[in-house]
């Protein structure tokens, strides 16, 4: 194995990974604002295993080699506390979120939640995605340029709200959706700042706490109301299924349900919206691919649309890294990685490395229609025991949204220059909003049906 446990008293001759000699506040600032550029330059200088000192994790190990990342993902789950590495989001998602849990508790939550996003359950959400996407595209301007990221954020919030709560209208639902929209529009720095107790009394952090409290009141009211409906066991929305998941002491408490709901909304809204915005951006810049994607949409060739989504997530991963914290000392590539260190696979760099994907700057969905790509070179949903529980739903949603959009509108742009990535909310989004034009699809294109 590439990653081996170091027994007590062992590991002689191993050295710590190399890294920059800068104070942790400086490293934190650079990593926060210039993550991608710095991570690339660090690799050129230090290699594939690099040590950083950044807040809030402090001991951080960057990984760039797919073999090392694969060893991490296939290690025994007891070797890592991935939830500990995610603690930065606990004030928002909650201490009992599947995102924060480790060990037996993580396995329990995954077991209870997995059926909600299995292939059968995901197919049941398809009609909702189609309906809401058709409603959204009918509001698009016919002749003017607009920021598609904003439109995708509105759409995916509608989709996730409906899938999660199952309510199409109603005062509580409308108020909850409005409050969630405000929360999901907050800057990531504000949400992360809630980890500092002293900050919670001031300015944006105090307002964030007040907003979270108002959302909690609405969620708990919805939970209580939903418990009393006579057809609860027959409902297929996420909230209803969480309420009936498990038996006896294995049932989820209201707090556990609240934390899973918030986690799913945060993880499933912004990331999918950003991934779709990147896909539209690349389709607008690549007429050949756009033409083929339109053909696929009009002929229900979901395999090609699936490849478009995968290529977009390869070239523009919306999450730059995942964080797993070691519970024991291990050896990797001749280095000692100490207990308590947080390992971070550099997803964006791995997926855009020409050694892993030839001509990575070219948008080529066809690379996902051929032989299987090498292991751990396409990891937008993470991997191993912590792979995103909603990955199946996210892929279905993105493919169906593209199918509906491309069967009604042509995606174009007068600006072929690629947009830079900018850290927005919880994802790396197009800096200019993925600006596109979307005129009605010409009759000659519709004839491809």
Which residues participate in the annotated binding site?
388
- HSE toward the beta carbon, residue 289, CA cutoff 13 A: 24
Mode of pairing for the β-strands spanning 427-430 and 421-424 = antiparallel
Contact 281, 438 (CB under 8 A): no
Beta strands per DSSP E along 290-426: 324-326, 330-332, 335-337, 342-345, 421-424
Residue 176 region by backbone torsions, left for phi larger than 0, else alpha for psi between -120 and 50, else beta = alpha
Bridge partners for 5 per DSSP: 330
**Gyration radius from the chain CA atoms:** 22
What is the spatial distance between Cα 173 and Cα 204, in angstroms, rounded to a whole number?
25
**Which segments within 45-200 are labelled E, that is strand?**
49-54, 58-63, 80-81, 146-147
Q: Which helix (H) or strand (E) holds 435?
A: strand 435-436
Instruction: Classify the phi-psi angles of 334: left when phi > 0, otherwise alpha if psi is within -120 to 50, otherwise beta.
Output: left
- Per DSSP, helices labelled H in 142-253 are 148-165, 171-184, 188-193, 203-227, 238-244
Strand duo 421-424 + 342-345: pairing:
unpaired
Q: How far apart (Å, rounded) are the C-alpha atoms in residues 109 and 252?
A: 9
Binding residues for heme: 388
- Distance between CA 402 and CA 382 in Å, rounded? 23
CA distance 78 to 85: 14
Chain position carrying tokens 């066991």: 233
**CA distances for 427 relative to 119, 147, 153, 255, 423, angstroms:** 26, 16, 12, 26, 6
- Cα 221 to chain centroid, rounded: 28
* CA–CA dist 357, 378 (Å, integer): 9
Taking residue 105's Cβ as centre, other Cβ atoms within 10 Å add up to 14
Asked whether 245 and 112 are in contact (CB, 8 A), the reply is: yes
Neighbours of 326 (CB within 10 A): 24
């Amino acid at each position: 194995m590439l990653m081996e446990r170091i027994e007590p008293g062992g590991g002689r001759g191993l050295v710590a990974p190399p890294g920059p000699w800068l104070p942790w506040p400086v490293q934190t600032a650079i990593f926060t604002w210039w993550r991608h550029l710095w991570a690339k330059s660090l690799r050129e200088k230090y290699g594939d295993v690099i040590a950083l000192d950044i807040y809030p994790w402090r001991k951080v190990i960057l990984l760039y080699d797919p073999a090392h990342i694969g060893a991490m993902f296939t290690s025994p789950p007891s070797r890592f506390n991935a939830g500990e590495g995610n603690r930065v989001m606990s004030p928002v998602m909650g201490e009992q979120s599947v995102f924060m849990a480790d060990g037996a508790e993580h396995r329990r939550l995954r077991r209870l939640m997995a059926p909600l996003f299995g292939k059968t359950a995901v197919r049941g959400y398809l009609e909702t995605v189609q309906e809401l996407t058709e409603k959204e595209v009918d509001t698009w301007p016919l002749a003017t340029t607009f920021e598609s990221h904003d439109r995708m954020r509105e759409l995916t919030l509608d989709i996730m709200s409906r899938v999660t709560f199952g309510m199409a209208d109603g005062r509580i639902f409308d108020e909850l959706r409005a409050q969630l929209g405000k929360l999901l529009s907050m800057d990531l720095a504000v949400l992360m700042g809630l980890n500092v107790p002293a900050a919670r009394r001031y300015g944006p952090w105090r307002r964030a706490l007040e907003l979270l409290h108002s959302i909690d009141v609405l969620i708990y009211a919805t939970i209580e109301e939903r418990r009393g409906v006579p057809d609860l066991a027959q409902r297929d929305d996420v909230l209803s299924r969480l309420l009936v998941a498990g038996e006896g002491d294995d049932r989820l408490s209201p707090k556990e349900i609240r934390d899973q709901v918030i986690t799913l909304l945060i993880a499933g809204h912004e990331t999918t919206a950003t991934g779709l915005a990147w896909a539209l951006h690349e389709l607008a810049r690549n007429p050949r691919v756009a033409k083929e994607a339109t053909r696929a949409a009009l002929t229900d060739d979901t395999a090609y649309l699936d490849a478009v989504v995968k290529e977009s997530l390869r070239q523009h991963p919306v999450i730059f890294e995942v964080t797993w914290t070691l519970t024991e000392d291990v050896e990797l590539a001749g280095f000692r990685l100490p207990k308590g260190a947080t390992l971070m696979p550099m997803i964006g760099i791995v997926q855009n490395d020409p050694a892993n994907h030839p001509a990575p700057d070219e948008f080529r969905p066809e690379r996902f229609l051929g032989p299987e790509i090498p292991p751990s070179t396409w990891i937008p949903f993470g991997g191993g025991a912590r792979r995103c529980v909603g990955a199946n739903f996210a892929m279905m949603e993105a493919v169906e949204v593209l199918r509906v959009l491309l069967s009604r509108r042509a995606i174009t742009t007068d600006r072929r220059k690629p947009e830079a990535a900018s850290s927005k909310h919880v994802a790396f989004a197009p800096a200019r909003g993925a600006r596109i034009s979307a005129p009605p699809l010409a009759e000659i294109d519709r004839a491809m049906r």
